[in-house]
Structures are given as C-alpha cells and as structure tokens.
Amino acid sequence: MAPAGTAAYVFFFISWLGALVWAWQAVTALHGMARLPDLTGKDADLPALPPGEGPHLTVIVPARNEEAAIQSTLRSLLASTRLRLQIIAVNDRSTDHTGERMDAMALQAAASGGAHSLQVLHIRELPAGWLGKPHAMALAAQQATAPWILFTDGDVQFHPQALQLALREALASHADHLVLLPSLILKTTGERAMLATMQVLAQWAVRLWKVSDPKARDFLGVGGFNLIRRAVYTQVGGFEALRMEVLDDLRLGWRVKRGGFAQRVAVGAGLVRIRWIDGALAVVRLMEKNGFAIYRFRVGLTLAASLGMAMLAVWPLVAMAAGGWSLVAGLVTYAAIGLVYLANRRVTQVTPWMALFFAPATALVTFSFLRSMVLALARNGVDWRGTRYSLAELRRHAVPEW
C-alpha cells in the first residue's frame, strides 16, 4: 500500500475513533448527570434537621480584599432560614476595608438578636510554611462548634433555603462531604462559552456522577461550597494537612475520598451564586495560579494534557475539512460534543449550542494552562494573596493524585 494511502487510512481510523469516544462520553454524561440530586425540588422529601440549642452548621468565610462583596455575602448567610448558623468571617491580611465591613456586619447581627451568630477573626501576619487561605480556614475551624462545617468564599451569594436544603440532603444521603455546585453569574456569550467548555473538558478527569461511588477514583471539592462533617474534617487532617496546597478546596475533597468517607455532589440552580469570570479572557488570569497546580507542578504532565486538549479542539475540524467519511466523523464528533454540553446544562445553565465555540474556547483554556506553567517556571513560584511561594516548596507538598 502506498504511504499516502496508509496515512489516509490512519487518519480515517483516528477520526472515527475520536467520534466514537465522544459518543460514549455523551451517552455516559447524559445518563450520569441526570442522576445528580437537584435540591430545588427536594424540600418535601428531605428529613428535618435535629432539634437542639446549638448551631446546626458552622460557616467559615475567608476573605482578602473583598470589600466590594463581603457584606453581601454575609448578609445572605444571615438571611438563611430553617437552621441555626455559627458564621466565622476571617479577614486574611486585607489591605482594603474588608475587615471593617466584617466588623460592621457582626455588630448588626448581634443587635438583631437573630438565630445566627457572626464572629470576625483578623489575621495580621502569615506564619511560615502556610498559604494564606488554608491558614485562614484552619484557624477558623479551630473555633467551630457545630457538627458540620461549610467552607465557602467571600464573594458567594446564598439563597435563604440553600444551607438547610444542603444539610438535610447530606443527612439523608449519609454523606460525610457534600458539594453543592454553584451557579455562575454569566453576562456575555463569551463567558457562557468558556464556562460550558471548561465543564465539558473537566468531565474527562472528574465524572460528577461517579464522585459518590466509593470504588471510583473521581473526587471533588469546590471552594464556594465544601460542606463536611466536623469529625471527618479532623480525621482527614484538616487544612493543617493542606497548608501549602494551592488547590485547597479540590484537595480537601481528595483527602475525603482517599480516606474512604462518603462524598456527594448536588445541583440546585440559583441556590448558591457567584460571579466567577468577568469576560471570557478572564479565564487566563484566573488560571494563572491554578493551572500548573492542577497537574501538580509537573512540566511533562502539563504539556501532555495541553496537547490532549489541543487535539480535542483541532482534530474534529481537520476531519471535517478532509471531506468524505472523515467529514461525517467530524460532524458526529461535534454532535456528540453538543450532547455533552446538553448533559451538563443542569450545572452550567448554558445552551448546548455553545458547542459551536468548543474549539476556540478549548484553545483559550489550553493557552491558560501553558501560560500558568511558564509564569510559575519564570518566577520560580506562584503569587497568591499578595505572597510569592517558591516552586520547590509547592512541589514538595504536592502529593500525587492518588
């Protein structure tokens, strides 16, 4: 057979193999994502919270330079109904008015005499050997009194029913750790395209419907909503065990799953809301800290993953450009990608037609990961919350995935 003919057959085979892999991804995603519990319609089916005098839940809110959002976040927590909260807000070395606004909200909460308490911790200096956010959360967790702890962020908005629904779901499902996936506040087509594409790409690494399977390797942790039993938090080492971990939220979920504890994922449109990206290009800046950390600061793994994402974006287009049966394979691939977008709509609230932007959005994500790696290598470290942490130290504490 002539070399040209061999190359054509190889191209044909790879094009259809890719189409079949994407088709399988679509089938499993459509089936799996539909099984995630939706808390917006479960109120009548969930057990009541146990009676008692103390708080049902301790909510820990670390924040640094969040003066624009922190009062709104705390106000939404104080408006929570049908449970009692101990709220601990942590001002982590802010250089703006974050601390003052926390204090003002604490005074208002005390004067209102409501069911929730709000206390404020002020951190002036960061101890050696710690990243700022894990230190803030570890310090606050030492003062938690409720049987459950929710770790969240200083720019999250909570529906009044969100916390009681999540806690009741955790009890009903016998969870030790529950992630309620936040709804992202999106304003532009570019933002929607980026969010939906990142969710589709992430599904190759984490199948959300498999997180609850004790035999599966899939795990999850989300900074905006990590709800965990206080006893389990202590057993997995708390944030003291993650003191130099950039991906503190995700790695907490990893420690829970590795420890054999029950992990659950739930959805609930509008229950937990956050404005995560401001424009499509904001992903590049957001990934600056996290991109290289996802691959445990390993150059080879980052390059391999980036090449894989680039192939996912480019190959279907090349197949369609080739014509013939390869064109059909490319069209089948894009149809399957659209179905994966559809499967994730309960999480993203984004139309599957955004699959039309899959290639450019994936290219931007790939660039973001590579840029994160290059900057970390050039700086010999990672900048976070006003502090630079050396790459050698971060790598020393970056344990493998499993």
Model confidence over 345-391: pLDDT tens digits?
999 999 999 999 999 999 999 999 999 999 999 999 888 877 888 88
pLDDT over 70 at 85, yes or no: yes
The predicted structure's pLDDT at residue 160: 97
The predicted structure's pLDDT at residue 207: 96
Q: How far is CA 207 from CA 26, 85, 102, 299, 362, in A?
A: 12, 32, 37, 25, 19
- Listed in order, the ranges of the chain carrying CATH 3.90.550.10 are 39-182+222-274
Instruction: Give pLDDT tens digits for 105-144.
Output: 999 999 988 889 999 999 999 999 899 999 999 999 999 9
Mean pLDDT computed over every residue of the chain: 92
pLDDT over 60 at 400, yes or no: no
The predicted structure's pLDDT at residue 178: 98
**What confidence tier does 287 reach under pLDDT thresholds 50, 70, 90?**
confident
Q: What share of the chain is helix, strand, coil (3-state, %, to 5)?
A: 55, 15, 30
Out of 32-46, 187-201, 281-295, 341-355, least confident range: 281-295
pLDDT over 60 at 401, yes or no: no
Decide if 89 contacts 150 (C-beta within 8 A).
no
Q: Tell me the percentage of the chain whose pLDDT exceeds 70.
A: 98
- From the list 83, 265, 239, 79, the residue with the least C-alpha distance to 182 is 265
**What confidence tier does 1 reach under pLDDT thresholds 50, 70, 90?**
very low
**CA torsion through residues 236, 239, 242, 243, sign:** negative
Decide if 265 contacts 212 (C-beta within 8 A).
yes
Q: How far is CA 402 from the centre of its chain?
A: 19
The predicted structure's pLDDT at residue 277: 79
- Greater pLDDT, 41 or 327: 327
- Measured at the CA of 286, the angle between CA 282 and CA 287, to 5 degrees, comes to 115
- CATH fold for domain 39-182+222-274: Spore Coat Polysaccharide Biosynthesis Protein SpsA; Chain A (3.90.550)
The predicted structure's pLDDT at residue 399: 63
Out of 33-37, 247-251, 285-289, least confident range: 285-289
Burial 369-394 (b: 16+ CB within 10 A, else e): bbbbbebbeeeebbebbeeebebeeb
The predicted structure's pLDDT at residue 278: 81
pTM: 0.93
